[in-house]
Amino acid sequence: MTDLHPKLVQILLDTVPNGLALSGDDGLLQWVNASFARMLGIDPEACTGKNLLDIDPEGRLSKHVTFHALSGYGGSAHLLVLAPKAAKAVVPRAGVLSREAAMQRLEIEMSRSRRYENPLSCLLITLPMTIEPPAAAQFVCFLREQLRWVDVLANWTPTQLLVLLPETTARSATALIRKLVPMAVAVTGEGVTLEWGASTWRRGDDAERLVERAALNVTGGARALKVQSRQ
């Protein structure tokens, strides 16, 4: 049997469409291929040493992972496989900040709010798993066109978009949602349900808490809007 060069093996593993990962009995990921990280919307290096709940808290993609026990590995290990069809609703990343980059921007904007007491809001938009990739890409383009140059659009989870709104009050964030909702209906097409949540920075908030409150839709009287597209 021909021995393959380790670099060639890595290229082959990164090229296959299936997401592949290796975990120990503790559930922590020891290695992932490029496809696995891409489906989850984060860098491969950010996966190692974490479990699926850490990198996919909503469980929207990890629930599709299949586990296979490995023998002859020199220890207890599992191969995790994520089929490409499970990731069809992953939000396109082109031109959109990663979660890591969004966290850095959030920290900068929150520091400004603490110092100057400027308002800061965010929107968390959840796309359904059933949305087709072209519709998701079109929605991302639509958001870019509607946002100000100072606003930030980022991937938060594989099916969630984060919109960071500097100098924006809770009332203005809610008004923006109500403006975007009917326009989004025309963009996403029939039968697509979007969930919109808003949150406004408060003293004591960190980045995670600010976004988590948007996910829970508990902010300044603003409620999430579930919008069913209709013709």
CATH of the domain at 174: 3.30.70.270
93 found inside a domain? no
23 found inside a domain? yes
Amino acid letter, residue 207: A
Residues 210 and 114 in one domain: yes
Higher pLDDT, 39 or 221: 39
1 found inside a domain? no
Residue 48 is part of a domain; what is its CATH number?
3.30.450.20
Instruction: Of 167, 166, 222, give the one whose Cα is nearest residue 195.
Output: 222
92 found inside a domain? no
**What is the pLDDT at residue 91?**
56
74 confidence band (pLDDT: 50, 70, 90) = low
Residues 80 and 103 in one domain: no
Among 29, 53, 87, give the residue marking a domain's end. Answer: 87
Residues 117 and 224 in one domain: yes
Residues 81 and 104 in one domain: no
Residues 74 and 128 in one domain: no
pLDDT at 134 > cutoff 90: no
Among 62, 87, 112, give the residue marking a domain's end. Answer: 87
In the chain, the number of structural domains is 2
The percent of residues in the chain predicted with pLDDT above 70, rounded, is 81
Residues 53 and 107 in one domain: no
Contacts of 169 (CB under 8 A, 6+ apart): 119, 121, 200
pLDDT at 33 > cutoff 70: yes
Residues 138 and 25 in one domain: no
Parent domain of 131: 99-228
